[in-house]
Amino acid sequence: MKIIFATNNAHKLSEVQAVLGDGYELVTPRQCGIDEEIPETAETLEGNARQKARYLFERTGLDCFADDTGLEVEALNGAPGVHSARYATDGHDFAANNRLLLKNLAGEENRRARFRTVICLIEQGKEHLFEGIVEGRIIDHEAGSEGFGYDPLFVPEGFDRTFAEMSAEQKNGISHRGRAVRKLVDYLHQTEK
Ligand code: IMP
């Protein structure tokens, strides 16, 4: 079954495809002829996921889903949160975001943080939301080269390695996005019956 996923980020695409399994073929907006950046101007993860999914649905009329993720750092009152992609600059500059996060947490003892993903599925025109959370902490230096974004700084609870030091399979097994996508898959399987 084909389903449109609102991302052109190759990392995210392969993470989500791995969790969805062979029964689903993910189609990107670009493959549907949507080349412009999909608007995400809401002030919450839920709002952005809904906005992106609605946009795709209105353009294609097909079943689709969108996700939005934020890194919520306790000592920073939940920042960067919904602004995670553009924390340091206007673009998606992962290295600059990581530098700014380390700077803002310098000398801070409370390193607690969590990743939160919200997925909005639009199926036959109806919206469904799924959430995935992973708790952890921000270390004081980058470690590892796998994954993307804040992965080199985030150690999930119960582990002593960052997401960037894990294989994609390990990360998917415990990650915010993996958890949210498994809820989506459970829902899709239920409705198939
Ligand atoms: P998006 O909403 O999924 O595009 O995520 C917004 C931003 O959060 C990204 O630009 C990354 O900086 C960060 N981010 C999202 N997912 C992850 C992840 O799995 N690991 C590390 N950083 C992530």
What is the pLDDT at residue 74? Answer: 98
What is the pLDDT at residue 1? Answer: 84
Is-contact 122 65, C-beta < 8 A?
yes
Is-contact 64 74, C-beta < 8 A?
no
pLDDT in tens, 6-40: 988 888 898 889 888 888 899 999 999 999 989 99
Instruction: Report the C-alpha gap between 81 and 84 in whole angstroms.
Output: 5
Look up tokens 């919904």; give the residue: 82
For residue 30, give the amino acid letter. Answer: R
What is the pLDDT at residue 34? Answer: 94
What is the pLDDT at residue 30? Answer: 93
Determine if ligand 1 sits within 6 Å of the CB of residue 150. Answer: yes
SS (H, E, C) the chain: CEEEECCCCHHHHHHHHHHHCCCCEEECCHHHCCCCCCCCCCCCHHHHHHHHHHHHHHHHCCCEEEEEEEEEEHHHCCCEECCCCCCCCCCCCHHHHHHHHHHHCCCCCCCEEEEEEEEEEEECCEEEEEEEEEEEEECCCCCCCCCCCCHHHEEECCCCCCHHHCCHHHHHHHCHHHHHHHHHHHHHHHHHC
Determine if ligand 1 sits within 6 Å of the CB of residue 136. Answer: no
| Distance between Cα 149 and ligand 1 center (Å) | 6
Instruction: Report the C-alpha gap between 34 and 29 in whole angstroms.
Output: 5
Which regions of the chain are under pLDDT 70? 193
Determine if ligand 1 sits within 6 Å of the CB of residue 69. Answer: yes
What is the pLDDT at residue 22? Answer: 86
68 is catalytic: yes
What is the pLDDT at residue 170? Answer: 95
What is the pLDDT at residue 191? Answer: 80
For residue 34, give the amino acid letter. Answer: I
The number of the ligand 1 atom at minimal distance from the alpha carbon of 177 is 19
Do you find a cis peptide bond into 80, omega within 30 degrees of 0? yes
The model's pTM is 0.93
